[in-house]
Amino acid sequence: MLAHIEHLARAGFAIHWLHPKSKRPVGDDWQDKPVASLEKLRKTYRNGNNVGVRLGKWSKVGDHWMHVIDLDVRDASLADEARAKVAVLFPESADWPTVISGSGGESRHFYLLSDKPFSSRQLAHSDEKMVCADGKMRWRWEIELYGTGKQVVIPASIHPDTGKPYRWLKQFDFDSLLLGDGPFVPAEILQKVVDGDDDAGEQDPERAKPLGLTVDEVRNLLKDYPNESLDYDQWLEVMAAVSHESSGRSKDERQQFYKAFLDWSRASDKNDDKTTKFKFWSFKHKEGRKLITMRTVVNAVREARLSEEFDNLEDGDDFDTDSDLDEKPVADEFDDLLGGGGRAPKQSKRETKLKKADVEAALGHVPPKVKRLNNKHAVVFLNGKTAILTEKDDGAVALGTVGDLHNFYENDRVATDKATEPVTKAWMRHKLRREYSNGVVFAPGREVKGAYNHWRGFSVEPDPEASCRLILAHLRKVICSNDERAANYTFGWWAHMIQRPEEKPGVAMVLRGKKGVGKDTIADYVGGLFPHHHVKIANQDQLTGKFNAHMEKCLLLHVEEGFWAGSKNAEGVLKHLITTESLFIEPKGLNGYHIDSVLRLFMSSNEKWVVPATEDERRYFVLDVPPTKKGDHAYFAAIRHEMRNGGRAGLLHYLLNYDLSRFNVRAVPDTIALGEQKIEGLKNVEHWWFDMLESGRISADAEGDWWKEKAVVDKGDFYDTYVGWMHSRRYEGKQLNEVHFGKVMRQLVPAIETRRPRDGSQRLNQYAFPPLEECRQAFETFLGSEIVWHSEPVVEIEEDEKDDFDI
């Protein structure tokens, strides 16, 4: 963590430590403590601490004070609206340093610098509120200026709910700051934004005028505006609204407006008559300040009345039918105040029932039967078709047709006007059914508007105190055979999956070794961090076959005991699976659809040929796992015990904090094991030439000892040797003609020479090959991998020599 904040502290950030996995500062009176020096931060750091920064007067970067624009989006469907408002307030905010919260979603922190420190202030909010998880009503989105008195969590802190790190979407460029280029907002401009009205409609002079309410109408509004829970500022806003409504009236009328406000104010013990009188008659609207009108009160009362109306509406059944059509007028006497125009028309009982659904939706109330079905099912729109998504008890998700859903619920019916129907048909018509108009996605760490996200997060909380020592040692010492370069990539590959699950690596990890050496141990250990997104398969059809619904929500695809059979079609599917960022999912019985793919492929095998690696391969990171721990049951039992007793929480903390600043997941180390996979995939001339290099025998009639010097062979005899080799092999492809054969040989041995010496009256056609070691090096260059060669010639025993041995 220290590495993440040292440059920020030096720049002037007022850094302080937060409790692990928390937004709560360590210690008391954090708002007034002196800014901690870098030395003190080092001394007071405890493993696992989150980190925060105090804003406003405490953080001075150069000659400017740092602030944050907090965009808090609670309703993802309004994210575009909220971002648009930020862009209106601060047109250059898209270029500012920005942090994405570990909670995911659309909320952001935009960092700015100003030549004056400001206090915190709400700048804008949505038109409506929503019921949040804690049961409280809050704005669907809010924009606030965070300054003096506020602090924010900064990367690479861990979010307390999701266990995911905060990330810089765009970091501070301190070099540009020195040149005067950065997120600077002059104080006078920021002051105008702070002082401006957060409701763009209120800027309209017509909307700034009084509504023209009578005193009785104001009294009726205030009657439904509870004041027990209001603080002083909120009480003052109501007073300002009534005062504004009375402006331009006669003295007697203003006195009546004052009396109406006084009577309302007396309903709370917190307000005394003396203060009320003084504030009301001395209040004056200051130029440039936010204008509070009765529209604010009307909107608040409207919300309260909707809530009361909902409570009073008949709620005998969750689903309304058309059976009762008696006309009974209902109306809202103040509807005309909310949008202009006349009174609302009288409503029939049918219209009232329809309105009930609107009221339920406005207040976020879900009837019990709807909630029951919503807990298990959802309607999704997939590739132009309506489908039903069902969440199973084990966390699995299935997709089916609307007809299948109704058939299943045939024995769970509700009454209609003339008959009964499956409860799901009524649920399908209900406004508050769970639905996803943008289909399904797999998007770790972020929300996608209108879509069902398969991502379920991590199954454990990161724990800096928990030990994962044994699995880390297994990775380094056994899996990587103490090879530092291989270990660095291995740790980085796993950490990249945990820290940046949304980024496709384009590289598969392949472990080859005997059974029981611990190849699958690491995948099982890590896969338990996200069990819903860890898929294990054991045959090639599940990997490259047509039906691939198991890959839809897969982060780690674990192929056990895989092997490669040489199918060209399957090879293309496999490479596509590793690198593509969009998969076409084909569930049985449904139309196919595309989904973003962030899948990582992990393969283990005891076969010689596991993957179809080519000479320029960068899709596979291949390691041979030695049998050093084969049969060591106590060793693997200890790893399993660690895993089940906090090891996964410790490993999650380790991987979340692993430094990826210099790691490039596509810079795959070349390994001996990868080279052997390339060799297994050689065909035709390349395969034949490798056999020649491996044996160290180029031709029985060659001139010169190839192990020590150049070897000269007849071109025709050399080609005939290749032809004879091809005749004995069925699957090496088509035999090349002599011209094409010669071109390939020049690719394999760039230093090959063609000679035409005289032999009496004839000229010979010959190849002169560099010494064997040089030819082998050229082949390694062609293959892109190091090869372990035989160090001595392979001796073939002639038939007439066998008699010299006792058999």
- Domain of 762, CATH number, reads 1.10.10
Cα 801 to Cα 794, 796, 798, 805, distances in angstroms: 16, 10, 5, 8
**How far is the C-alpha of 460 from the C-alpha of 656, rounded, in Å?**
13
Q: Is 456 within the bounds of a domain?
A: no
Beta carbons of 99 and 155 less than 8 angstroms apart: yes
What digits encode the pLDDT tens for the residues 649-689?
999 999 999 999 999 999 999 888 888 888 888 889 999 99
Alpha carbons 503 and 497: distance in angstroms, whole number: 8
- What residues have CB less than 8 Å from 212, skipping those under 6 apart? none
Residue where the block lists tokens 């780690």: 556
> Within 10 A of 262 (CB to CB), how many other CB atoms are there?
16
Is 737 within 8 Å of 685 (Cβ atoms)? Answer: no
- With vertex at residue 154, the alpha carbon angle to CA 153 and CA 158, rounded to the nearest 5 degrees, is 75
- Residue 497 within a domain: yes
Residue 242 within any structural domain of the chain: no
Which of 172, 202, 232 terminates a domain? The answer is 202
Q: Provide the pLDDT for residue 345.
A: 52
The residue range of the domain holding 385 is 369-437
* pLDDT at position 339: 45
Does residue 418 share a domain with residue 514? Answer: no
The answer to whether residue 125 is domain-embedded is yes
Burial class (CB in 10 A: 0-12, 13-18, 19+), 711: buried
3-state secondary structure 692-711: HHHHCCCCCCCECCCCCCCE
Domain co-membership, 669 together with 738 = no
Ramachandran area for residue 587 (φ above 0: left; ψ -120 to 50: alpha; else beta): beta
If one counts every other C-beta atom within 10 angstroms of the C-beta of residue 729, the result is 12
Our count of domains for the chain comes to 4
- Is the backbone peptide bond immediately before 156 cis, with ω within 30 degrees of 0? yes
Instruction: Examine the domain organization and report whether 545 and 693 are in the same domain.
Output: no
With tokens 């049951």, the residue in question is 633
Would you put residue 290 in left (φ > 0), alpha (ψ -120 to 50) or beta? Answer: beta
**Residue that finishes a domain, picked among 632, 653, 675:** 675
Q: Report in angstroms the alpha-carbon separations of 777 from 222, 480, 668, 754, 789.
A: 90, 25, 21, 20, 10
- On whether both 409 and 426 belong to a single domain, the answer is yes
pLDDT on residue 530: 92
> Where does residue 329 rank: exposed (0-12), middle (13-18), buried (19+ CB within 10 A)?
exposed
Residue 209 lies in a domain: no
Q: Where are the beta strands (DSSP E) in 304-370?
A: none
d(CA 565, CA 571): 9
Q: List CB contacts of 722: < 8 A, sequence separation 6 or more.
A: 685, 688, 736, 741
User: Do 604 and 730 fall into the same domain?
Assistant: no
As a 3-state breakdown, the chain gives helix, strand, coil percent values, each rounded to 5, of 40, 20, 45
Q: Are residues 663 and 688 in the same domain?
A: no
pLDDT at 338: 44
Neighbours of 119 (CB within 10 A): 15
Q: How far is CA 44 from CA 22, 26, 51, 615, in A?
A: 17, 10, 12, 52
The answer to whether the pTM exceeds 0.75 is: no
Nearest to 378 by CA among 435, 293, 419: 435
- The answer on 52 and 131 residing in a single domain is yes
Both 671 and 713 in one domain: the answer is: no
Task: For residue 378, tell me if it sits in a domain.
Answer: yes
Question: Is 347 part of a structural domain of the chain?
Answer: no
Report whether 752 contacts 744 (CB < 8 A).
no
Do 626 and 481 share a domain, yes or no? Answer: yes
61 phi/psi in degrees, rounded to 5: -105, 110
Q: Is residue 339 part of a domain?
A: no
Cα–Cα distance, 673 to 625 (Å, whole number): 10
Q: At what angle do helices 232-246 and 273-282 cross, to 10 degrees?
A: 50
Same domain, 29 and 109: yes
Same domain flag for 181 and 35: yes
Q: Are residues 667 and 696 in the same domain?
A: no
pLDDT, tens digit, 9 for 90 and up, residues 178-236? 666 789 999 888 988 887 644 433 445 666 778 888 999 999 888 888 776 677 777 88
pLDDT one-digit tens code per residue, 334-375: 444 444 444 445 555 556 556 666 666 665 667 788 889 999
Positions of the chain with pLDDT under 50: 197-203, 288, 311, 313-316, 321-344, 797-807
Alpha helices in 612-737 (DSSP H): 633-642, 648-656, 672-680, 684-695, 715-727
Domain C-terminal end among 176, 202, 228 = 202
